[in-house]
Amino acid sequence: MALEKGFYKEAGLDVTIVERNPKKNNIDQVINGESQYGVADSALLLYRAEGKPVQIMASIFQHSPLIFIAHKDSGIVSPYEMKGKKISYQKGIDDAPLLAMLEDGKLKSSDYTYVPLDFTSQAFIDRKVDVMSAYLSDQPFLMKEKNIPITIINPLNYGIDFYGDNLFSTEKELSENPERAKRFLKASLRGWQYALANRDETIAALRGKYNTQRSVEHLKSEAQIMEKMILPTMIDIGYTNPERFHRIGEIYRSLNKVNKADIERALDGLIWNPYEKHKIDVRYLYITLALLVFIGAVTIILIYISRKLQKMVIKRTRALEEQQMVTDRYVIVSITDLNGVITYVSEAFCKISGYTKEELIGKKHNKIHDPDSPSSIYEDLWKHLHAGKSWSGEIRNIDKEGKYYWAQTHIEPIINENGVLTGYQGIQQNITDKKYAEKLSITDQLTQLYNRSYLDMTLTKEMTRFKRYQTPMSVIMIDIDYFKEVNDLHGHLSGDMVLIELARILKSNIRPTDTLGRWGGEEFMIICSQNNLNETVQLAEKLRLAVQEHTFPEIGRKTASFGVAAVESDDDELGLIRRADGALYKAKESGRNKVMQG
């Protein structure tokens, strides 16, 4: 749409779009100079680790659309059932999310038969392969059109979260033609924004000029899925978080695709940012203050020695004052009196909080505190400060517009020259991006519950505690009854709304100590720490009734089946899950909308 609407032309660019040829490596095409810019997945990090001079300009898909699909009647719902099966994917071209998911399921390459991807889906349709890699935005709808029921196995549900569709170029192009690259990037992102806002027009262009074979309904479905991958209402289109690529690099290392030295070298400079500004290290604040004290003392001495030296000192002092002004702009600093009333804030503090200095000075520091944060954080903070000690930790604040932001905070008592405590000084670092990246890695993006990866970690932790202290623990497996009918009769968007609503019902009826997450598809799990079997069965029955009595928007009444199992002395994680899953299967086989024990 950037080309169709003339955005490239307005930017002074003559752009030709080259369709991807599956027989060619599109990353090498850019490296070799056949094209100036390209689109590729997170495998760009591997190419850079191999010494290829590629740089990422923008990450369009915040989540990779790469998934596995299996026939619904095959019984394959996770990597655990893929042992001994025929699996088809494109080897070497960003297969890492899929391989990492197989590794999470304890599958080695010798545990299954690899079949090269045919790009037509025909081998899967003809059941010559059991499992096939696919794009979430494409093949699932194709299978629906062909009346082939499938199960989607998504790496995202296992905490494996790669970027997709990264706009990239070479170091040579970006260093020699930075202004051209800026204009190309800006016009491309503008095209994405227009396409998402004007879907019918975009679909008409695709069908009229670009020879797509997909139906209008297929393209509309693809647009809906893409919007979930891009997250334009949550994140600026094209945003790339360096922390995510560090996590991706760790996954590549775990798959023995790259060593530590090469991945660290590759991460340095991977993301191209022509607008990056120089950042001031927080430590410079302390250095500056120390130097000011030192220069002040030297100035007194130099007055008696030489006027010439005095001028030098004044010149140096001015330079330091300028440095202090820079520090004020970039370092988040606040000072309060003993009662927590603000007496000073830096410009950087005002910028992150959204308040002016006049709106902050004279007010209590808790003006910016998140009222929903645990009180224990501030109790611990004041305990340290009242004892004359410093305190460090992560705090979630809220800005003037009501938006949350996270800060790594260090607070020091202020002692005057007479040794009297007069107040407190805080220095903060904005870690909102880091916290968001952490949340993404453990959160199911549809339901906002914990994902499969986090449930696995919690289960391992609880099993360790059981074996050490014999602390009781149980799990509940939950599956929505006749969920396929919802998707078939009302569409996948309505199916998504049912999942979201069910997650809300479950979350509002469990204890704070219970861990609730999406296990995969329409299946959920609750880990009940310190609960015996009878207590957990009672909770499951309570949840069953809550679901049964709820009216789902556009759908009406739905029910769910529950399988419960408590940990036993000879259990491991897999054994416990199998018993709970077996109980769930019995509940569904005996008429659904029931709670069964395993």
Per-residue pLDDT of the chain (598 residues; tens, 9 = 90+): 999 999 999 999 999 999 888 788 889 999 999 999 999 988 899 899 999 999 999 999 988 889 999 999 999 988 889 999 999 998 865 678 888 888 877 888 899 999 998 888 999 999 999 999 999 888 999 999 899 999 999 888 777 888 889 999 999 999 999 999 999 999 999 999 999 999 999 999 998 888 788 889 999 999 988 988 888 877 889 888 888 888 888 888 887 888 989 999 999 999 997 765 434 444 444 555 566 666 666 566 655 565 555 555 455 545 444 444 444 455 688 899 998 999 998 888 998 899 999 999 999 988 899 888 888 888 888 888 888 889 988 899 999 999 889 888 999 999 877 778 899 999 888 888 777 766 777 888 899 999 998 899 899 989 988 988 888 999 999 999 999 989 888 888 889 999 999 999 999 999 888 999 999 889 999 999 888 999 999 999 999 999 999 999 888 999 999 999 999 988 888 999 999 999 999 999 999 999 999 8
**Which are the contacts of 147, defined by CB distance < 8 A and separation ≥ 6?**
none
**Residue 409 is which amino acid?**
T
Q: Is the dihedral of CA 545, 549, 552, 554 positive or negative?
A: positive
Backbone angles phi, psi at 414, to 5 degrees: -100, 120
Prediction pTM value: 0.49
Q: What is the pLDDT of residue 251?
A: 83
Q: What is the pLDDT of residue 84?
A: 94
Q: What is the pLDDT of residue 290?
A: 63
Determine how β-strand 86-89 pairs with β-strand 131-135.
Answer: parallel
Residue 347: helix, strand or coil by DSSP? Answer: helix
> Which two structure tokens, joined as six digits, stand for 322?
């300028």
Cα(555)–Cα(121) distance, rounded to whole angstroms? 32
CA dihedral (342, 347, 349, 353) in degrees, to 10, reads 100
Residue 65: helix, strand or coil by DSSP? Answer: coil
Q: What is the pLDDT of residue 289?
A: 56
Query: What percent of the residues of the chain are helix, what percent strand, and what percent coil, each to the nearest 5?
Result: 45, 20, 30
DSSP H or E segment with residue 408: strand 404-415
What burial letters (b/e) apply to 335-369, b meaning 16+ CB within 10 Å?
bbeeebebbebbebbbebbebeeeebeeeebeebe
Cα(253)–Cα(249) distance, rounded to whole angstroms? 6
**Which are the contacts of 244, defined by CB distance < 8 A and separation ≥ 6?**
161, 163, 437, 440
**Residue 477 is which amino acid?**
M
Determine how β-strand 595-597 pairs with β-strand 150-153.
Answer: unpaired
